[in-house]
Structure 1
Amino acid sequence: MAQGEPEAEILLNTIESQTLAVIDRLNRAILMLVTGQPTVSGYSAMVGTLRPSFDQIAQYAPRWGDLIPDAPHIRAELAYLLSQRGPLDRLQTPHLWAALGLDQESVRQIYQSRYGDLPSSERTRPTAAAAPKTEPPSLPWIDASLFQSLQNELQPIYLPSGKALFRQGDPGDSLYLISNGRVKVVVGEGETAKTVAEFGQNALVGEMSLLSGGNRSASVYAIRDSELFRLPKASFERLVEHHPRLMLEVAKVISTRLENATSGKPRADQALSLAVIPAGDGADLGAFCDQLVESLRTHFDCAHLSRAHLDSALGEGIVDAPLGTLRESRLISWLAVQSELYPCLVYSADPTLTEWTKRCIRQADRVLVVGEGRGTPDLNPIERALFEGDSFHPEIRKELVLLHQGGQAPQHTQRWLAHRQVADYHHLDPHNRAHFDRYARFLVGRPLGLVLSGGSVRGFAHIGVLRALREAGIPVDIIGGTSAGSLIGAQAAMGWDDVRMEQENKALFKNVRRLIDLTLPVTSFAAGKGFSSLLKQIFGDHLIEDLWIKYFCVSADLTAAQLRIHRTGLIRRYVRASSAIPAALPPVLDDGHLLVDGGLMNNLPVLPMVEIIKSGTVIAVDVSNPFYTADGAYNYGDPENGDSLPFGKVLRGRVLSRTLVTPSLVGILLRCLEIGTINMESVQIPKVDLYIRPPVDDIGSGDVSSMDKLIQLGYETAHQQLKGWKGRPPA
């Protein structure tokens, strides 16, 4: 076997894979531009299923040329292999000629000594080059010439992590399609800079400039190494001149994107790249990744890439290949192909800070830092490089995942969070598939959030809704609530099912009188000790961050005049704050701020939920307090005319069985809380995917004896609505 022949055969396979990957990325970019989707019916990715033609290899030589090592024997052998498939000629295939280095004397001599003279431009005259057989997807209005023109006009761009694609104020002279990677959109500069959006694979960026030509309204930076295609405005206008319908189709895509952006419900990611590294003493990353991949496959194709997987596919030690070598080029090309084959890749890092670990982090949209919940929370060397070093982009999204063996209740999460600045954290039982399914929904942007309103005793209807959700097989991934909703929501987040909730709450609220500890009405009518004692009995010293299911509750900050969203801290403390009806219960003093019932500002906290889960599904349950719609329903007199409602009149009305209709003190207080939410309904309800309002209006706000009826009404209403619900998210 001639020197360089084995390497050349391996290299040719790599070149073929790289060429197909480039063609596939280009096809998908064109489809994104003209349809808004990276694929259409009847189109299957070419990667891994076809062999590229000689014309295609020659056309895209600039994209794979850097794979060829500076070794004359390998170049000569590769030239011979390619010459068996098409003519090598300086004029007909200039890119291929240059990539092979056929002008180098050393390469020509080796080739001639083995196979004779190279073809020359004098002996092989150029002819009209046939269009590459890219097998474009079939669309009713796009012909092969337009598809080929788009392929020729789209310019590939490589954008390293941290680099700017364009800056705010730059001329808007082109649009970009993200083939692979992730970028962030930033408005403002310096201390005023704010990240307003992130975009990943198959997204359009800067598309408005294609129509307006105005200056950029924001800056765009790469969060990780990214590959994009650029379409200059001049190129687009030239294409539209010959294909007028192109403008209409692209305008449709841009219009749809604008509608999605203004709907308040951003779309979930269509591609995902995750790096999994150890936290603290580490965990079994292989088993974790295998289970996570299985759950992610519910949403799209996903592959697990680890040192062991790559050793098996490409040969032992491939991940340790030195920079700039043929083996490293093969590794890079193979990884690029995987990103085309699979919308989701999970990179499992080594337990130490190796080159493979670094590559995993650089390839990722987000990094999952996985540790044992009962382990040591100190940073390990990999984490120090990630959180404290400058080797990686500081804004790459990082999430903490703590595993709890045997389903042991999470504890001491704050110790882990104190050492790590992460965007989010999750608790998983490593042997519970439902936990991995839940986390997968968060990762792909499709969690289900349940919002529970306040409503005093009517809040027990939430238990019935939870029962209906359980029976329908609809898992809840995050719960948010106000007042009574915060109480029931926290119980569900602790892991109580609806059966236990019903039993426990019946026992807890059997003697409701113990909760009414009247006091001198300086701050409130009740001292609140009874209610606080009840909450401690339920929640003990458990913290919100230690809950299995993610949870938040809201309170109204009287000091700062704003809504407070509580996602960490003592559960009982913030449920107490969320339920502190002004004048009825004293405010909770929190770091010098007075916190009262969240219903004062948002009795149905849909907006906070949407802000947390972004593109997920929201179910809202509203059991807010009813009230008469007109003053004519009351007959106790008009104070403006000198009428009054003395105790004697009330007593006589009762004794003489007269019909005396009056607003109750508690009813007035509750309605004061809900007025703000009523005014927010026009903003919040359109953001809800399923709105459930059990018919509980005829049940008094303090009627604890109606708990069974409330639970049943909640169940029946939710059960009926869930039966025909078309917006049900995937499990």
Structure 2
Amino acid sequence: MRVQPNLVLPIAAMMVQRMSPLVRQIDFALEWMLVEAGKALYRQDSKPQNVYIVLNGRVRSVLLAQDKKRRELIGENGRGEMVGLIEVLMEMPRQSTTIAVRDTELAVIPSGLLNYIKWRHPRVVSHLIHVLSQKIYGTMQNTLTNGVGLAMPLADDEFQDQATVINKNLSTVAIVAASDDVPLDAFTCELVHSLIAIGPTLHLTQQLIIDRFGVSAFESINDYRLSAWLGQQEELHRIVVYQCDKQLTPWTKRSLRQADCILIVGIGWKEAVKGSVEKEIERIAVRAQKELILLHRMGSLKPKGTAEWLKERNWCTFHHHVRCPQRVFQNINLGCLNDYTDLLEPDPDPTTDFARMARFLTG
């Protein structure tokens, strides 16, 4: 396109000609929307006007109880999922408030377009009913097995739920060190190695981004270019792992902004300290779910001191104890991640704690 820009219009005209009239009408009616992290997509009891499809990002639906003092998590929706369909089809007020967990791009389907499609193509309604049935059935299954929905005081800033439903369809995970002595390179390589066995996985670091975009990658002038590339990687991979720096660098801030889930990694037998990045997470009230990972040696006995770690982090949704092979603690500072990757077995052991973590993160 850059070499021969005169081809753009003929190609566009050819594509439009190949589209059916219905597709052209839908394309004309659809809108694009960007919701910043923490902002509401819609609020409970409001009039439904649109259905939304998550293109990139994550949203969380919360129900406000009748006493106005407690909230209940309805669920979270990630890339490719539809939001707000039930209320539009049933012509009823919004049953929950839906908030962007992180910066989220959505396709907006006006209710008028949906009604037009139902009138012209009734078969579409059958498919929508099938989609709704699957969603309702999935919610029922989660309620029976996990007890989805945990009430909480309205005064709390962060909603934390103990149901695994919020781990459904995670696209991005940021990994943060609780202290400078955490072997973050090794931990991330081990986790990514287990994730690759489940699906396409991308491991991103500050150095990789600089190698690709140059030292000015994190300047505001390149923000759109970097955001577009990161969004493309989410489409190409089952999960993208952002390895944060141990200091609050521009790359770390970017990683936290992109994360559906934040893993805070500490060494289980050491003091329950808080790093500078953790303090920033608290300060800016990041809404992504946060989980504590405590590392242990392979032959360690029953973990101790977990309460002290959790006492300082009451905003953690889950905590995990992970037994690590000795090589994790022998390679605290690596010159190159490939050096550590060469130490890994071709096929990861599915019985390890890292494999368990990978299954947990991918639902």
How many Å apart are 1:263 and its aligned residue? 2.9
For 1:366, the equivalent position in structure 2 comes to 261
Distance in 2 (CA, whole Å) between partners of 1:299 and 1:210 is 36
Task: Please name the residue that 1:348 is paired with.
Answer: 243
Work out which of the residue numbers 182, 187, 195 in structure 2 matches 1:288: 187
Whole-Å Cα distance in 2 between the matches of residues 236 and 408 of structure 1?
58
Equivalent in 298, 301, 322 of residue 219 of structure 2:
322
Residues 405 and 318 of structure 1, relative CA distance in 2, 3 Å threshold:
farther
Q: Is the 8 A contact 2:77 2:169 kept in 1?
A: no
Q: 1:150 aligns with which of 7, 23, 26?
A: 26
* One of 259, 262, 265 as aligned partner of 2:140: 262
User: SS of 2:354's equivalent?
Assistant: helix
Contact 1:209–1:215 under 8 Å retained in 2:
yes
- Measure how far apart 1:373 and its partner are: 1.9
- Deviations along 1:118-142, one digit per CA (max 9) or x if unpaired, are xxxxxxxxxx944349x9xxxxxxx
Q: Is the 8 A contact 1:174 1:209 kept in 2?
A: no
One-letter amino acid of the structure 2 residue matched with residue 353 of structure 1:
L
The 3-state SS of whatever aligns with 1:351 is coil
- Tell me, which stretches of 5 or more residues in structure 1 are unaligned? 1-53, 55-77, 94-127, 136-142, 446-731
Distance in 1 of aligned mates of 2:20 and 2:202: 33
Aligned to 2:5: 83
Shift in Å, 1:335: 0.9
Matched, 1:304 2:235: no
Q: Which consecutive unaligned segments of at least 5 residues does structure 2 have?
A: 146-164, 327-348
Instruction: Report the alpha carbon displacement of residue 196 of structure 1 after superposing the two structures with TM.
Output: 2.6
Aligned to 1:413: 306
Residue-by-residue CA offset, 1:223-247 (whole Å, 9 max, x unaligned): 1111111111101122233323222
Are residue 400 (structure 1) and residue 292 (structure 2) matched? yes
> Following TM superposition, by how much is the alpha carbon of 1:282 offset from its aligned partner in structure 2, in angstroms?
4.2
1:435–1:356 Cα change, 3 Å: same
The 3-state SS of whatever aligns with 1:407 is coil
- Residue 263 of structure 1 aligns to a residue in which SS? helix
**1:431 matches 2:325:** yes
Q: Counterpart of 2:242 in 1: which secondary structure?
A: strand
Deviation (angstroms), 1:173: 2.0
Sequence identity (%): 29
Q: TM-score, normalised by structure 1?
A: 0.40
Give the 5 Å matches for 1:247-646. 247-264=125-142, 269-315=168-214, 317-319=215-217, 321-323=218-220, 325=221, 327-387=222-282, 389=283, 391-393=284-286, 395-409=287-301, 410-421=303-314, 422-431=316-325, 434-445=352-363
For 1:267 and 1:380, the matched residues in 2 are separated by 26
- 1:359 is matched by which residue type in structure 2? R
Residues 170 and 260 in structure 2, CA contact (< 8 A), matched pair in contact too:
no
> What is the CA–CA distance in structure 2 between the aligned matches of 1:337 and 1:269, rounded to whole Å?
20
More helix by share: 1
Task: Note the C-alpha offset of 1:318.
Answer: 4.5
2:89 to 191, 194, 211: 211
Confirm or deny: 8 A CA contact 1:280 1:375 kept in the other structure. Answer: no
Counterpart of 2:105, as a letter, is E
Task: Quickly say closer, same or farther: Cα 1:275–1:151, change in 2 above 3 A.
Answer: same
Contact 2:179 / 2:246 at 8 angstroms: preserved in 1?
Answer: no
Deviations 1:260-288 (A, max 9, x none): 22233659623421000111344121221
TM-aligned CA deviation for residue 443 of structure 1: 1.5
Per the alignment, do residues 243 and 260 of structure 1 end up closer, same or farther by CA in structure 2, a change over 3 Å counting? same
- TM-superposed deviation, 1:303: 0.8
CA distance in 2, matches of 1:154, 1:287: 45
SS of 1:417's partner is helix
Native 8 Å contact 2:267 2:296 kept in 1: yes
Shift of 1:392: 3.6
Distance 1:431 1:336 in 2: 34
Which digits, 9 at most, give the CA deviation of each residue in 1:346-379, with x for residues without a partner? 1000110111101111100111001222333221
Give, as a single letter, the amino acid of the residue that structure 1 aligns with 2:52.
Answer: Y
Give yes or no for contact 1:278–1:351 (8 Å, CA) kept in 2.
Answer: yes
Task: For residues 162-196 of structure 1, give each alpha carbon's deviation from its aligned partner in whole angstroms, at most 9, with x where no partner exists.
Answer: 10111111112221111121111111175323323
- SS of the residue 2:174 aligns to: strand
- Give the Cα–Cα distance (whole angstroms) in 2 for the partners of residues 193 and 427 of structure 1: 29
Contact map agreement 1:149 1:239 (CA 8 A) in 2: no
2: CA distance, partners of 1:83 / 1:313: 25
CA deviations on 1:190-217 (whole Å, 9 max, x unpaired) are: 5323323222222211111231111111
Query: Which whole-Å deviations, capped at 9, do the CAs of 1:456-495 have from their partners, x for residues lacking one?
Result: xxxxxxxxxxxxxxxxxxxxxxxxxxxxxxxxxxxxxxxx
Q: Indicate if the aligned counterparts of 1:282 and 1:370 stay in contact, CA closer than 8 A.
A: no
* 2:150 corresponds to: none
How do 1:103-118 and structure 2 match up within 5 A?
A: none
Aligned to 2:39: 163
Cα distance in 2 between the residues matched to 1:225 and 1:407: 42
CA distance 1:382–1:175, shift in 2 (3 Å): same
Q: Taking structure 1 as reference, are residues 149 and 250 closer, same or farther at Cα in structure 2, changes over 3 Å only?
A: farther
Q: Which residue of 1 aligns with 2:158?
A: none
Q: 2:79 is paired with a residue of what secondary structure?
A: coil
CA distance in 1 between counterparts of 2:248 and 2:25 reads 46
Provide closer, same or farther for how the CA distance between residues 282 and 417 of structure 1 changes in structure 2, counting only shifts above 3 A.
farther
Equivalent position of 1:199 in the other structure: 77
Larger strand proportion of the pair: 2
Query: Counterparts of 1:282 and 1:154 in 2: how far apart (Å)?
Result: 50
Instruction: Measure, in 2, the Cα distance between the counterparts of 1:415 and 1:176.
Output: 42
Helix, strand or coil at the partner of 1:157? strand
The 2-side partners of 1:269 and 1:303 are apart by: 18
Deviates more, 1:269-278 or 1:346-355: 269-278
> Match for 1:276: what amino acid?
I
Matched residue type, 1:358: K
- Using CA pairs below 8 Å that are at least 6 residues apart, which structure has the higher relative contact order? 2
1:138 alignment counterpart:
none
Bigger mean CA offset, 331-340 vs 372-381: 372-381
Larger radius of gyration: 1
Distance 1:267 1:223, change over 3 A: closer
Summarize the Cα distance change of 1:271–1:318 in structure 2 as closer, same or farther, 3 Å threshold.
farther
